[in-house]
Amino acid sequence: MLSIFSGGGERRPFTLPLFPLRTVLFPGGLLPLKVFEQRYIDMTKDCLKEEQPFGVCLITKGDEVASSSSGPPEFARVGTLARIVDWEMPQLGILHVATTGGTRFQVQRHTVEASGLVVGEVRTIATEPACPLPEAYAPLAKLLDMIAARIGPQNFPAETHFDDASWVGYRLAELLPLPLTIKQSMLEINDALVRLGTLRQFLSEQGLI
C-alpha cells in the first residue's frame, strides 16, 4: 500500500473507505480527527489493523454527522489518501486520530454500506513531477515560513520543503483562509506553477505580498 499512498506504482482502481468531511486534506498535510460515530470507529480500527489508508473528500452538500432523516452527504470526487500516524482513546467510544495526507485520488463510483460507511472505487492521481520553486515565488515561501512559525511545529509538517513548488503550494492552500471550494480547486489543479500563480494573485489582491 505504500506505493499507492505515495503515488507510485500502477494506478489501477481499488476499493477505499471514504470519510467525507468539511475540510480539504492536501498531500503532505496534517489532519487531526475526533472519531465518535461507530461506522468511523470501525473504519479506523480496520485501517489500523490492515495498515491501510482511508480517503478524505470534501462535503459539498449535507452534514458530517449522520442523522436518521438524511442520507450520506454529497462530496467532491477528488480527495486525498489519509494515513493514520497516531491515535488514542481518551474515553470509551471516542478516538483521537492523527493523520497525514498522501497522494490524491478520484472517485469513480461509490456505495453505501448498511452502517452508513461510504466505500469508493477510486484511482490514484499521478504525483506532480518535482519542480524547484522559481525565484519569482520566493515571497510565497517566505510567507509560508512566517505562518509556520506562528502556528507552531505541532500544527505544521516536521519535514519541510520550502524549495519545492508543489509542497509550498499545498501548504499555503491548506493554511490560508480560503473558501473550501477554492481549496478544493487548488487540490484538483495538476500543475504546481499554476497553483502557485493562483495563490500569488490572491495574496497580492489581499496585500499580503
The residue with greater pLDDT, 131 or 206, is 131
pLDDT digits (tens, 9 = 90+) for 147-172: 999 999 989 998 999 999 999 999 99
Q: What is the pLDDT of residue 2?
A: 45
pLDDT digits (tens, 9 = 90+) for 47-78: 999 999 999 999 999 887 766 556 788 999 99
Give the C-alpha separation, 85 to 59, whole Å.
24
Judged by DSSP in three states, 177 sits in coil
Give the C-alpha separation, 142 to 144, whole Å.
5
What are the cell numbers at 123? 484511482
The residue with greater pLDDT, 7 or 76, is 76
**78, 62 Cβ separation under 8 angstroms:** no
Query: Which candidate, 89, 119, 82, places its Cα nearest to that of 104?
Result: 82
The secondary structure element, H or E, covering residue 45 is helix 38-50
Average confidence score pLDDT of the chain: 91
pLDDT digits (tens, 9 = 90+) for 188-203: 999 999 999 999 998 9
pLDDT exceeds cutoff 90 at 12: no
pLDDT exceeds cutoff 90 at 16: yes
Q: What is the CATH number of domain 2-124?
A: 2.30.130.40
Task: Count CB neighbours of 4 within 10 A.
Answer: 21
Task: Count CB neighbours of 108 within 10 A.
Answer: 11
> Which pTM does this prediction carry?
0.90
Domain locations in the chain as residue ranges: 2-124, 135-205
135-205: which CATH architecture?
Answer: Orthogonal Bundle (1.10)
